[in-house]
């Protein structure tokens, strides 16, 4: 125990003597959390629309006015020249074109139905799907209005009278910032913990000081523990710091038990710092380590469900995710913070991570070579 | 000149000797495109739905069957108390609970008005919103079909055309962004670290003392990365085409030229970083936090720039990747020519010149 | 000389890296309390042999005992009884003089009181008390090396291994350094030192000279000079290298 304490004193002194550390621990995460939470918004703001009204009738104007009245749409161009609108679409100045051809109103009267063209820039398929859905909704409402007011068919239309009432539990206003913030917090805690741990050990290797350590009677687990604990403390601090920022800036709710969250985070950190240590035992230079760490981090984070539903991934990806600590933490942090899940609810994730941590730390310790 | 080629050869050998790194450098684009094509999608499947049916009549039972035969949802069980909703959500056994009001069918028939409550677990806001949209769609379509016997006159039919991406594939959005990210990673991050490494170990002094000119040293260091980056860019284009049918509608030559311009831009940024970083760790964190995350998040790669607050939109204009993504989207997906992208090209050229001049200046200061 | 205990016993030690043989059937012993010089040109295999004795590297074959322990099975026991000063600079550059001493003392399990009093003693003897709280990276090279040596013997090991300890320092500091080595033997510490400065061999009780992975000569400096009919050790070495 005394030996680990001696080593810990050394690590902490070195960490805080490094002038890079303070900005990495305090400034960078704050900037990232604020910036990224705002940037990583999945909410759609004004959809920019071009209206090509070649009919210019009462019906077409009424329809356009419904789009004008919608909070989702912003009409940036009104023209009768379709080509002009398509150029704007190509130039990314509008997202969607609403096109009503000559005879729009006439065929509504004579044939009891009429066609409407919608041209959507679908490069971003998700956004295109949403735009399409909003338009469908507006046109359905428009149809109901026309039938009722113009043709006196009130009540005959049962469909619009099926009311669907959405309710958003734990996040009643469907505030995406809360959702994204918790995800970004996970990334920052992971990135700082894992990268700093891994770089630290490889740096000592590269500088040659590990050689001196290796001729001493230090046990491998003592050395690894001394490398693990300081960064675990820093990462836990980062979590607390992040929660505070989230609370103050974004009104992040903390429904569940903080104690449980920190307990879970400890196990999580053992797992990811273990990965960092393992990677550093198999690399010789900081450069090598960086490539590997970058590769694994990027893959882990993208698969963790930070901004896409993890439970809807293909089965093979979900199987891979069983060995992805970030995916567990991403899920659990949201469960505890937003839903107030208790230990029973997260026990499967908790025990899985325990097993993972034991395996990876054993690998890291056995793979650390005092003798070559 | 011979001396220079000798130096470049040495740098190549240095990279190629390390198999593991090489594997990662070439494997990265492949893994990423597979992830973005198959895994990072906004589609939903097998979302667990709980049912709280307070009327248990034919209409509600039919609607329930419809929900589970849609393919997007799987049953998480029936409940009959409000408290159970919380249990389902907290343990993660259900993401949505559908509540049919009492006397659902009667209300629907007699009063022409009935309500279904969709309660979602919005702690995962994204899944909540997506499931809700899908569920709404399923229910609406079903009740519409039930009422088919009722004549529906005077309606406007919407015909949608999905421009540039008829089948609405998610991967279209990611290919340009992925190119921007990986080129930035290899060109800027890796060169900055390689050069800083020489500085940290004092071998840079050795090189500077050799008959090689400083610009030859820098060129020699970056040349292998130019080739690596370019190969990776083309791998992404090829994989996108072979696996996901992402086309190159415009000129391939123009695309290659623009790639080279962006690579040069990223490399000069990498060199600039290396002139200001003292240690590898510093270079790494500068590139990682200053370049990688903004490239992913502020360039329009994943999150549309239009949806960001004004300040961030303004901030994104200094991201080289933002302009490159516009260029690639235009050439590959829209098939437009240079007329539509000259502005972006000029901006990238300007940035490149700026970074080169800034690094030369910093380098001179150091030598003095 | 009376028959003394062998603190290091090496028989037929071989170390191969692929097809390259770095140590070719080395056989020698080191007696307790002596200064044993391990000489040879760069690349002769000195560092490789030393790393094996310190437990940093596995031998390919051979029977090797250090301080009575087998290097295959009891490396961790050996490590408690040895000190080591590597060729690459081994103190932490971003820790102070005093912090480095305390770190290594703590690693060897010395008590806090013991550390404090011996640290005072050590700094006093080296005349370094005034820079005790300065970072190692700000300390001149000569001082660093003396300090590294002191740290390597701080826990009073049975043997201390020094790998080219005087590389790159001026002649005066080198002399002082060798005085420190002599002082250490007075305290009963055996010194195993590699060097390629032949004049330093004169300070050793016995020297072995390695050429191309083999030990070509091993005896006291006086006996070697006589055997090779040379005025000094440098001549001995040159004659050996030409054979």
Structural domains of chain B, ranges and CATH numbers in brackets: 25-39+170-367 (no CATH), 47-148 (3.40.1710.10)
Using only C-alpha atoms, chain C has a radius of gyration, in whole angstroms, of 18
Are residues A12 and A51 part of one domain? no
- CB contact under 8 Å between A6 and C102, yes or no, is yes
What does DSSP assign to residue C96?
B
Are residues A70 and A138 part of one domain? yes
User: In the predicted model, what is the mean pLDDT of residues C164-184?
Assistant: 87
Query: Cα(A61)–Cα(C110) distance, rounded to whole angstroms?
Result: 90
Are residues A186 and A85 part of one domain? no
Q: Is the pLDDT of residue A244 over 80?
A: yes
User: In the predicted model, what is the mean pLDDT of residues C61-81?
Assistant: 89
Residues of B in contact with A115 (CB under 8 A): 156-157, 159
- CB contact under 8 Å between B303 and A41, yes or no, is yes
Query: Residue A160: its pLDDT value, please?
Result: 47
C–B contact: 3+ Cβ pairs < 8 A: no
Q: Is the pLDDT of residue A158 over 50?
A: no
Can you read off the two tokens belonging to residue A354?
């325990």
Nearest to A124 among B125, B158, B173 (CB): B173
Q: What does the pLDDT look like over A18-63, one tens digit per residue?
A: 877 788 788 888 888 888 888 876 666 778 999 999 988 988 898 9
Q: Chain C residue closest to A14 (CA)?
A: C94
Are residues A198 and A309 part of one domain? yes
Element (H, E) at C215: strand C214-219
Residue B18's alpha-carbon distances to A284, B25, B202, in angstroms, are: 11, 11, 22
Residue A50 pairs in a beta bridge with: A77, A97
Query: Residue B258: its pLDDT value, please?
Result: 94
Q: Is the pLDDT of residue B76 over 80?
A: yes
Element (H, E) at A45: none
Query: Residue B75: its pLDDT value, please?
Result: 93
0.90 surpassed by complex ipTM: no
Are residues A342 and A230 part of one domain? yes
Of A94, A126, A161, the domain-final residue: A161
Q: Which of B150, B240, B306, B307 to mutate to test the interface with A (most CBs of A within 10 A)?
A: B307
Q: What is the CATH number of the domain that holds A88?
A: 3.40.1710.10
Nearest to A372 among C57, C79, C94 (CB): C57
Asked if A160 is an interface residue toward chain B (Cβ–Cβ < 8 A), one would say no
Closest approach of B23 to chain A, Cα-based (Å): 10
* Residue B267 · residue B222 · CB < 8 Å: yes
Q: Report the CATH superfamily, name and number, of domain C6-242.
A: P-loop containing nucleotide triphosphate hydrolases (3.40.50.300)
Chains in contact with A, counting 3 or more C-beta pairs less than 8 Å apart as contact: B, C
Query: Cα(B362)–Cα(B275) distance, rounded to whole angstroms?
Result: 6
Name the interface residues of C facing A (CB cutoff 8 Å).
54-58, 75-76, 79-80, 82-84, 86, 88-95, 99, 102-104, 106-109, 161
Domain that holds residue A116: 47-161
Q: Chain B residue closest to A106 (CA)?
A: B154
Is A372 inside a domain boundary?
no
Of A129, A161, A193, the domain-final residue: A161
User: In the predicted model, what is the mean pLDDT of residues C157-179?
Assistant: 87
Are residues A295 and A176 part of one domain? yes
Is A167 inside a domain boundary?
no
Nearest to C56 among A6, A10, A371 (CB): A371
Is A179 inside a domain boundary?
yes
Q: Give residue B151's pLDDT band: very low, low, confident or very high (50, 70, 90).
A: low
Q: What does the pLDDT look like over B195-205, one tens digit per residue?
A: 888 887 777 77
Query: Residue A350: its pLDDT value, please?
Result: 96
Query: Residue B274: its pLDDT value, please?
Result: 87
Q: How many CA atoms lie within 13 A of A96 on its CB side?
A: 28
pTM over 0.90: no
Are residues A233 and A272 part of one domain? yes
Q: Give residue A153's pLDDT band: very low, low, confident or very high (50, 70, 90).
A: low
Are residues A325 and A226 part of one domain? yes
Q: How many CB pairs under 8 A join A and C?
A: 78
Q: What does the pLDDT look like over A257-285, one tens digit per residue?
A: 999 999 999 999 999 999 999 999 988 88
pLDDT averaged over every residue in chain C: 87
Q: Which of C16, C101, C106 to mutate to test the interface with A (most CBs of A within 10 A)?
A: C106
Closest approach of A213 to chain C, Cα-based (Å): 9
- Give the count of domains, chain A: 2
Closest approach of A9 to chain B, Cα-based (Å): 22
Are residues A16 and A78 part of one domain? no
Query: Residue B8: its pLDDT value, please?
Result: 82
pLDDT averaged over every residue in chain B: 85
Residues of A in contact with B228 (CB under 8 A): none
Is A358 inside a domain boundary?
yes
Q: Is the pLDDT of residue C3 over 60?
A: no
Query: Cα(B7)–Cα(B215) distance, rounded to whole angstroms?
Result: 12
Residue C65 pairs in a beta bridge with: C9, C70
Q: Chain A residue closest to B109 (CA)?
A: A158
pLDDT averaged over every residue in chain A: 87
Give the rounded percent of residues in chain A with a pLDDT score beyond 70: 96
Residue A96's alpha-carbon distances to A118, A133, B43, in angstroms, are: 7, 12, 22
User: In the predicted model, what is the mean pLDDT of residues B77-98?
Assistant: 90
Q: Chain A residue closest to C94 (CA)?
A: A14
* Residue B181 · residue B321 · CB < 8 Å: yes
- CB contact under 8 Å between A211 and C86, yes or no, is yes
Are residues A202 and A86 part of one domain? no
Q: Which of B177, B229, B183 is nearest to B37 (CA)?
A: B177
Is A212 inside a domain boundary?
yes
Higher pLDDT, A343 or B305: A343
Query: Residue B148: its pLDDT value, please?
Result: 54
Q: Give residue A218's pLDDT band: very low, low, confident or very high (50, 70, 90).
A: confident
Nearest to C55 among A13, A208, A371 (CB): A371
Closest approach of A283 to chain B, Cα-based (Å): 9
Asked if A217 is an interface residue toward chain C (Cβ–Cβ < 8 A), one would say yes
Are residues A199 and A323 part of one domain? yes
Q: Chain A residue closest to B333 (CA)?
A: A123
Are residues A176 and A65 part of one domain? no
- CA C41 to chain centroid, in Å, comes to 16
Is A166 inside a domain boundary?
no
Of A161, A186, A211, the domain-final residue: A161
Chains in contact with B, counting 3 or more C-beta pairs less than 8 Å apart as contact: A
Query: Cα(C176)–Cα(C167) distance, rounded to whole angstroms?
Result: 14
């Amino acid at each position: 125990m005394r030996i680990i304490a001696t080593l810990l004193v050394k690590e902490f002194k070195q960490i805080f003597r490094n002038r890079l550390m303070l900005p990495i621990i305090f400034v960078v995460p704050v900037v990232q959390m604020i910036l990224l939470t705002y940037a990583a918004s999945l909410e759609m703001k004004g959809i920019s629309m071009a209206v090509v009204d070649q009919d210019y009738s009462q019906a077409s104007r009424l329809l356009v006015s419904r789009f004008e009245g919608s909070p989702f749409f912003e009409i940036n161009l009104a023209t009768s020249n379709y080509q002009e609108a398509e150029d704007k679409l190509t130039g990314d100045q509008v997202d969607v074109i609403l096109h009503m051809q000559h005879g729009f109103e006439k065929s509504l009267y004579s044939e009891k139905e009429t066609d409407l063209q919608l041209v959507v820039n679908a490069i971003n398929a998700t956004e295109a799907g949403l735009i399409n859905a909003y338009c469908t909704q507006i046109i359905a409402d428009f149809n109901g209005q026309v039938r009722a007011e113009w043709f006196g068919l009130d009540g005959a239309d049962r469909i619009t009278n099926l009311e669907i009432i959405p309710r958003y539990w734990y996040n009643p206003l469907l505030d995406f910032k809360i959702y994204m913030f918790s995800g970004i917090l996970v990334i920052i805690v992971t990135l700082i913990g894992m990268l700093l741990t891994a770089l630290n050990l490889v740096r000592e290797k590269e500088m040659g000081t590990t050689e001196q350590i290796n001729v001493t009677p230090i046990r491998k687990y003592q050395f690894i523990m001394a490398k693990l604990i300081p960064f675990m403390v820093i990462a836990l601090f980062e979590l607390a710091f992040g929660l505070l920022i989230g609370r103050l800036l974004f009104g992040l709710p903390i429904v569940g038990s903080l104690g449980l969250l920190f307990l879970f985070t400890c196990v999580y950190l053992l797992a990811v710092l273990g990965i960092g240590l393992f990677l550093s035992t198999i690399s010789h230079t900081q450069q090598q380590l960086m490539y590997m760490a970058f590769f694994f981090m990027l893959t882990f984070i993208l698969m963790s469900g930070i901004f896409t539903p993890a439970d809807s991934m293909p089965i093979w990806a979900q199987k891979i995710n069983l060995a992805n600590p970030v995916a567990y933490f991403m899920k659990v942090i949201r469960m505890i913070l937003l839903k107030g899940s208790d230990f029973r609810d997260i026990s499967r994730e908790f025990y899985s991570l325990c097993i993972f941590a034991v395996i990876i730390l054993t690998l890291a310790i056995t793979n650390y070579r005092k003798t070559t | 000149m011979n001396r220079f080629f000798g130096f470049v050869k040495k740098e190549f050998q240095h990279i190629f000797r390390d198999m593991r790194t090489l594997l990662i450098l070439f494997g990265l684009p492949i893994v990423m495109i597979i992830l973005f094509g198959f895994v990072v999608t906004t589609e939903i499947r097998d979302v667990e739905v709980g049912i709280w049916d307070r009327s248990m009549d034919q209409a509600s039972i039919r609607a329930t069957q419809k929900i589970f035969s849609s393919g997007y949802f799987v049953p998480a069980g029936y409940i009959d108390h409000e408290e159970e909703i919380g249990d389902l959500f907290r343990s993660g056994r259900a993401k949505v609970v559908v509540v049919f009001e009492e006397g659902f069918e009667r209300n629907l028939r007699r009063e022409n008005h009935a309500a279904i409550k969709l309660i979602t677990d919005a702690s995962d806001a994204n899944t909540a919103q997506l499931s809700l949209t899908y569920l709404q769609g399923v229910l609406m379509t079903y009740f519409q079909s039930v009422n088919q016997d009722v004549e529906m006159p005077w309606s406007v039919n919407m015909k949608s055309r999905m421009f540039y991406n008829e089948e609405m594939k998610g991967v279209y959005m990611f290919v340009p962004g992925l190119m921007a990210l990986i080129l930035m990673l290899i060109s800027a991050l890796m060169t900055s670290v390689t050069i800083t490494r020489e500085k940290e170990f004092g071998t840079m002094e050795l090189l500077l003392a050799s008959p090689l000119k400083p610009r030859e040293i820098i060129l020699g260091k970056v040349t292998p990365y130019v080739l690596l980056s370019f190969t990776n860019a083309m791998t992404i284009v090829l994989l996108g085409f072979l696996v996901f049918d992402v086309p190159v509608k415009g000129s391939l030559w123009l695309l290659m030229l623009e790639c080279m311009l962006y690579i040069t831009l990223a490399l000069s940024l990498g060199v600039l970083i290396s002139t200001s970083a003292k240690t590898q760790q510093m270079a790494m964190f500068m590139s990682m936090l200053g370049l990688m995350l903004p490239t992913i998040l502020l360039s329009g790669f994943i999150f549309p720039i239009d949806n960001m607050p004004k300040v961030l939109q303004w901030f994104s204009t200094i991201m080289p990747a933002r302009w490159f993504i516009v260029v690639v989207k235009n050439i590959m997906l829209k098939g437009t020519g240079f007329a539509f992208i000259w502005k972006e090209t000029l901006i990238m050229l300007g940035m490149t010149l700026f970074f080169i001049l800034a690094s030369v200046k910093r380098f001179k200061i150091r030598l003095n | 000389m009376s028959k003394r205990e062998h603190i290091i016993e090496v028989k037929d030690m071989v170390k191969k890296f692929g097809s390259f043989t770095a140590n070719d059937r080395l056989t020698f012993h080191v007696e307790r309390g002596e200064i044993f010089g391990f000489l040879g040109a760069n690349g002769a295999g000195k560092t490789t042999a030393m790393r094996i004795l310190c437990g940093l590297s596995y031998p390919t074959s051979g029977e090797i005992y250090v301080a009575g322990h087998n290097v295959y099975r009891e490396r961790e026991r050996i490590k408690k009884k040895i000190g080591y000063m590597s060729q690459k600079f081994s103190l932490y550059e971003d820790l102070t003089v005093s912090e480095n001493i305390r770190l290594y003392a703590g690693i060897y399990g010395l008590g806090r009181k013991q550390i404090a009093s011996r640290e005072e003693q050590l700094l006093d003897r080296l005349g370094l008390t005034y820079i005790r709280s300065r970072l190692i990276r700000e300390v001149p090279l000569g001082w660093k090396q003396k300090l590294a040596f002191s740290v390597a013997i701080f826990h009073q090991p049975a043997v201390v291994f020094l790998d080219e300890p005087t590389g790159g320092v001026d002649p005066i500091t080198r002399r002082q350094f060798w005085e420190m080595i002599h002082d250490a033997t007075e305290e009963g510490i055996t010194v195993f030192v590699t060097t390629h400065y032949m004049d330093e061999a004169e300070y050793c009780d016995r020297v072995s000279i390695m050429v191309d992975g083999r030990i070509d000569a091993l005896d006291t400096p006086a006996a070697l000079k006589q055997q090779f009919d040379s005025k000094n050790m440098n001549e001995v070495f040159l004659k050996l290298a030409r054979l």
